[in-house]
Amino acid sequence: MEIITEPSVLGERAREWMRAGRSVGFAPTMGSLHAGHASLMALARERTEVVVASVFVNPTQFGPGEDLDAYPRDLEHDVALAERVGVDVLFAPRPEAMYAPEAATWVEVPRLARHLCGASRPTHFRGVCTVVSKLFLLVRPTLAVFGQKDWQQLAIIRRMNADLGFGVEIVGAPIVREADGLALSSRNVRLTPAERTEAVGISRGLALAGELVQRGERDAECIVAEVRARYAADMPSGVVDYLECVDPATIEPVATIAGPVLFAAAVKFSAVRLIDNRYVDMPVASR
Ligand code: AMP
């Protein structure tokens, strides 16, 4: 595996792959890699001849007072994991190599960023879109893999890719979870043991939302109220940032469930903010 830190070197490599007609798969990450990230790389490995992964804690997607400095970093571990999964090139640039001090361009998809994480982190997705655009222009991937754990991000990247004509095949990968259901996240290591025990409540509450839909409940507000009550009981030290039922494609709130919906939650334990979601479709008979 080759480790590249200079954008110009990655760009040169990508031009070589293009000239040779090789397909390129790409998995962008912020590092502190876990099995969720590995699943994205493995998916790319199955589908393309060259696999690129990036590890970059992108400063522009963190708002003031967020955890940019505290975000876990462990490049040595990341190199070993990426190598194990069969990544060909790991791109790990310094922030100064990605952003000139005078940089003044943003890529935004505001219509899909009105709710969920876009509402609580108003500048987050323009940071994501800008860095993913820059990475797409460097790597020129045939295919790029994003996790469904960040469902709203995936929807936004699909829109951006179509609108700007990047021509990348965007692949969504299922959420990888711990045995008890907690979605894997680089931030999980920052939970205290007591918080870790409570945090399983996030996915359990979302599973309850799914069960209520299966049992015939169609009023999203009722379901959200029931899950909130469960959250309060199961996660006394968790602060719910949001818990919403939205349309999986438009990320707009749904009041009456008449088709597939997404229940999405963000819960804070001290300074650690965790997100998770559950895609729920109705039994065909009840549509
Ligand atoms: P991050 O490093 O958290 O920015 O995530 C990089 C990519 O990995 C994003 O596409 C995430 O959606 C994806 N990802 C993170 N955690 C998981 C998980 N538990 N399962 C599947 N994909 C994940």
* 37 in catalytic set: yes
For residue 133, tell me if it sits in a domain. Answer: yes
State which residues form the domain around 100: 2-173
Task: Give yes or no: residues 169 and 41 share one domain.
Answer: yes
Alpha carbon of 146 to ligand 1 centroid (Å): 7
Per the structure, how many domains does the chain have? 2
pLDDT tens sequence across 35-62: 999 999 999 999 999 999 999 999 999 9
The last residue of one of the domains, among 173, 195, 228, is 173
Alpha carbon of 222 to ligand 1 centroid (Å): 30
The pairing of strands 24-29 and 50-55 is: parallel
Task: Give yes or no: residues 192 and 163 share one domain.
Answer: no
CA distance 13 to 19: 10
pLDDT tens sequence across 113-142: 999 999 999 999 999 999 999 999 999 999
Res. 282 pLDDT band, cuts 50 70 90: confident
Report the mean per-residue pLDDT for the chain.
97
150, 157, 206, best to mutate for ligand 1 pocket (most atoms within 8 Å of CB): 150
The pairing of strands 24-29 and 143-147 is: parallel
Q: Is the CB of 29 under 6 A from ligand 1?
A: yes
Per-residue pLDDT, 284: 63
In the predicted structure, residue 5 carries a pLDDT above the cut 70 = yes
CATH number of the domain at 252, please: 3.30.1300.10
Which ligand 1 atom is nearest residue 146's CA? 10
Which ligand 1 atom is nearest residue 150's CA? 12
Per-residue pLDDT, 144: 99
Among candidate residues 34, 37, 77, 124, the one labeled active-site is: 37
For residue 48, tell me if it sits in a domain. Answer: yes
Among 116, 147, 16, smallest CA distance to 4 is for: 16
CA distance 152 to 220: 19
What is the residue-wise DSSP string for the chain?
-EEE--HHHHHHHHHHHHHTT--EEEEEE-SS--HHHHHHHHHHHHH-SEEEEEE---GGGSPTTSSTTTS---HHHHHHHHHHHT-SEEE---HHHH--TT-------GGGSSSHHHHHSTTHHHHHHHHHHHHHHHH--SEEEEEGGGHHHHHHHHHHHHHHT--PEEEEEPPPB-TTSPBP-GGGGGS-HHHHHHHHHHHHHHHHHHHHHHTT--BHHHHHHHHHHHHHHH-TTEEEEEEEEE-TTT--B-SB--S-EEEEEEEEETTEEEEEEEEE---GGG-
For residue 181, tell me if it sits in a domain. Answer: no
Alpha carbon of 273 to ligand 1 centroid (Å): 14
For residue 106, tell me if it sits in a domain. Answer: yes
Q: Is the CB of 176 under 6 A from ligand 1?
A: yes
pLDDT tens sequence across 221-246: 999 999 999 999 999 999 999 999 99
Which ligand 1 atom is nearest residue 145's CA? 10
CATH number of the domain at 52, please: 3.40.50.620
- Residue type, position 278, single letter: R
Alpha carbon of 39 to ligand 1 centroid (Å): 9
